[in-house]
């Protein structure tokens, strides 16, 4: 028997993140208060009006169906690369690298977009309380500096910061929801939300579209695999909990706002918000909770955005770390800090990258909301749906090639992935056909932005021949890691 040399072990991140901490990371990336204050008025005002809450529920169902196949394959993917690791295991190295590049582009885009939104929100808050009006990008770069410090340190610190911010923003919206339903709203509980005539209109696609945008950051459950206490149990639990909590929260809160202003007035009030003549969330909070709570919510919007951008920073740093470990990116990006056990150098590079992109957009004089946030969110949404669609196909192929693993897992290995492919293909069509609503730009600009994640996928596929990825999958959840095996 000949024993082959064992490759030097790759550096791995470590931590003791439980299910709750990872769920916090994912929900924080979704920025629930930001979605309720921003996406919901758009879904109501330009979508299917009082039926918009059902659009959010449908988006959650699509993602929950996707999660079944994703979780079923999780025990056989032994690295913290999230979607691209699944695609590599199922569809091969080249599509895996294409997915990795798509993810990097998508998450970098949404992170930069959130920095733009943050700059606008902080400036608006300062002006509201009588402070001076300053360029939005000053606040954006100040936020970036704080994120850089937290991202450099151990992940447990970020989890604690995200947990506090997230708990406060969810609590205040839940209180608002309860008060609205308890008082009966402006016209009684809005049962019109469930009327098929309101739900299945031409605008249902817009509601689903902006609901999907609110789920960006969904794959973070698997990104933190190496830092989870028990990834075989923690990752599946966190995935299901995150989707259910976010989906229920969005749908009920959207329904509460419709009830709060009245189903017959919901569209008009939402459109006033879009025109800058009011604010659906803050005005409703003033009516039902008083001016003090309105101010609290406005402050919590800042913490929501901060939690969101910190979560994306952590996700991107770990993507780069994993790719560096695979020799696709420079080896220095795969360095783990001796004290913090964090991807410290990757975190620094991510900060520099975001700073350069944000500086370019600021120099172009773009509006922080429409120009920066809108366009970057559009890129990220296309990238996210494309990644999940590719991952669902990878799950199908992975188990089709390993029928012995699919035995006893028919629903998770075949049925639900097929349903996910159909649902996500439909979702991608909705995103692209309504793309100008996301970006706020012309058709030409929107097409160019939509092609960015697609081009990233193509570039990755082309480079995949030069930088092959190993599948990092096992035939069973009890199999040893590749570096521990011997050749006989």
Q: Is residue 473 part of a domain?
A: no
Query: Within the chain, how many helices (H) and strands (E) appear?
Result: 22, 0
- What local confidence, expressed as pLDDT, does residue 480 receive? 37
Distances (CA, A) of 20 to 17, 83, 238, 240: 8, 21, 7, 12
Distance from C-alpha of 374 to C-alpha of 452, rounded to nearest angstrom: 15
Instruction: Give ∠ CA 421-424-429 in degrees, rounded to 5.
Output: 125
- What local confidence, expressed as pLDDT, does residue 255 receive? 96
For 445-459, the pLDDT digits (tens) are 889 999 999 999 999
Confidence tier at 46 by pLDDT (50, 70, 90): confident
Question: Helix or strand or coil: residue 58?
Answer: helix
- What local confidence, expressed as pLDDT, does residue 228 receive? 66
Confidence tier at 9 by pLDDT (50, 70, 90): very low
Of 66-70, 187-191, 327-331, give the lowest mean pLDDT range: 327-331
Asked whether the predicted pLDDT for residue 415 surpasses 90, the reply is yes
Q: How many CA atoms does the CB half-sphere of 412 hold within 13 Å?
A: 15
Residue range 390-401: mean pLDDT, rounded: 95
Q: Is residue 470 part of a domain?
A: no
Distance from C-alpha of 398 to C-alpha of 52, rounded to nearest angstrom: 36
- What local confidence, expressed as pLDDT, does residue 29 receive? 67
- What local confidence, expressed as pLDDT, does residue 433 receive? 83
Distance from C-alpha of 236 to C-alpha of 409, rounded to nearest angstrom: 15
Q: Is residue 225 part of a domain?
A: yes
> Which one, of 47, 71, 112, 30, lies nearest residue 352 by Cα?
112
What residues contact residue 171 under an 8 Å CB cut-off, 6+ apart? none
Q: Is residue 232 part of a domain?
A: yes
Of 115-119, 201-205, 377-381, give the lowest mean pLDDT range: 201-205
Asked whether the predicted pLDDT for residue 286 surpasses 90, the reply is yes
- What local confidence, expressed as pLDDT, does residue 98 receive? 94
Per DSSP, helices labelled H in 375-487 are 375-400, 403-406, 410, 416-433, 435-439, 443-463
Q: Is residue 6 part of a domain?
A: no
Instruction: Calculate the CA 144 to chain-centre distance.
Output: 19
For 226-261, the pLDDT digits (tens) are 666 777 778 788 888 888 988 999 999 999 999 999
Q: Structure pTM? A: 0.82
Question: Helix or strand or coil: residue 17?
Answer: strand
Asked whether the predicted pLDDT for residue 81 surpasses 60, the reply is no
Q: Is residue 2 part of a domain?
A: no
Distances (CA, A) of 299 to 140, 172, 215: 16, 11, 22
Domains of the chain: total: 1
What's the domain range around 375?
Answer: 19-462
Distances (CA, A) of 117 to 43, 88, 363, 421: 18, 34, 16, 32
Q: Is residue 349 part of a domain?
A: yes
Q: Tally the residues of the chain.
A: 488
- Count of CB atoms within 10 A of residue 51's CB? 29
- What local confidence, expressed as pLDDT, does residue 276 receive? 66
- What local confidence, expressed as pLDDT, does residue 140 receive? 95
Confidence tier at 483 by pLDDT (50, 70, 90): very low
Residue range 385-392: mean pLDDT, rounded: 94
How far is it between the farthest Cα atoms of the chain? Answer: 80
For 153-199, the pLDDT digits (tens) are 655 555 566 667 677 888 899 999 999 999 999 999 999 999 998 88
Q: Is residue 26 part of a domain?
A: yes
**What CATH number is attached to the domain comprising 365?**
1.20.1740.10
């Amino acid at each position: 028997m000949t024993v082959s040399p064992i490759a030097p072990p790759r550096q791995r991140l470590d931590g003791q993140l439980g299910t709750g901490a990872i769920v916090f990371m994912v929900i924080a990336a979704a920025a629930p208060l930001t979605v309720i204050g921003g996406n919901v008025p758009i879904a109501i005002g330009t979508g299917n009006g009082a039926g918009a809450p059902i659009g959010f529920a449908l988006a959650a169902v699509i993602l929950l169906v996707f999660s079944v196949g994703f979780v079923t394959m999780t025990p056989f993917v032994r690295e913290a690369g999230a979607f691209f690791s699944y695609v590599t295991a199922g569809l091969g190295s080249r599509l895996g690298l294409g997915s990795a590049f798509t993810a990097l582009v998508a998450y970098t885009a949404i992170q930069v977009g959130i920095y733009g939104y943050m700059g606008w929100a902080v400036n608006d808050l300062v002006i509201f309380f009588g402070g001076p009006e300053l360029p939005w990008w000053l606040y954006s770069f100040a936020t970036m500096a704080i994120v850089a410090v937290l991202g450099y340190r151990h992940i447990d610190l970020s989890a604690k910061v995200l947990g506090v911010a997230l708990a406060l923003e969810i609590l205040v919206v839940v209180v608002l929801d309860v008060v609205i339903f308890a008082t009966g709203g402006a016209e009684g509980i809005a049962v019109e939300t469930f009327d098929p005539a309101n739900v299945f209109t031409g605008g249902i696609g817009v509601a689903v579209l902006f609901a999907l945008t609110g789920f960006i950051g969904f794959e973070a459950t698997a990104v933190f695999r190496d830092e989870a206490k028990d990834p075989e149990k923690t990752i599946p639990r966190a995935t299901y909990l995150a989707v259910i909590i976010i989906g229920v929260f969005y749908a009920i809160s959207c329904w509460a706002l419709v009830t709060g202003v009245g189903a017959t007035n919901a569209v008009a009030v939402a459109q006033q918000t879009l025109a800058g003549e009011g604010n659906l969330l803050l005005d409703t909070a003033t009516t039902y909770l008083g001016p003090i709570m309105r101010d609290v919510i406005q402050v919590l919007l800042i913490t929501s955005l901060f939690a969101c951008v910190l979560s994306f920073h952590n996700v991107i740093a770990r993507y780069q770390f994993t790719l560096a470990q695979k020799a696709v990116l420079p080896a220095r990006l795969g360095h783990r800090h001796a004290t913090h056990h964090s991807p410290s150098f990757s975190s620094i590079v991510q900060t520099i990258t975001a700073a350069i992109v944000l500086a370019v957009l600021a120099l172009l004089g773009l509006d922080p909301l429409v120009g920066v946030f809108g366009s970057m969110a559009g890129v990220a949404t296309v990238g996210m749906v494309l990644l999940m669609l590719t991952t669902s196909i990878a799950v199908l192929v992975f188990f089709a090639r390993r029928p012995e693993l699919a035995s006893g897992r028919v629903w998770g290995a075949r049925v639900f992935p097929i349903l996910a492919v159909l649902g996500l293909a439909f979702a991608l069509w909705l995103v692209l056909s309504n793309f100008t609503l996301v970006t706020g730009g012309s058709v030409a600009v929107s097409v160019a932005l939509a092609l960015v994640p697609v081009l990233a996928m193509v570039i990755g596929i082309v480079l995949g021949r030069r930088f092959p990825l190993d599948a990092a999958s096992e035939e069973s959840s009890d199999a040893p890691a590749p570096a521990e095996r011997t050749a006989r």
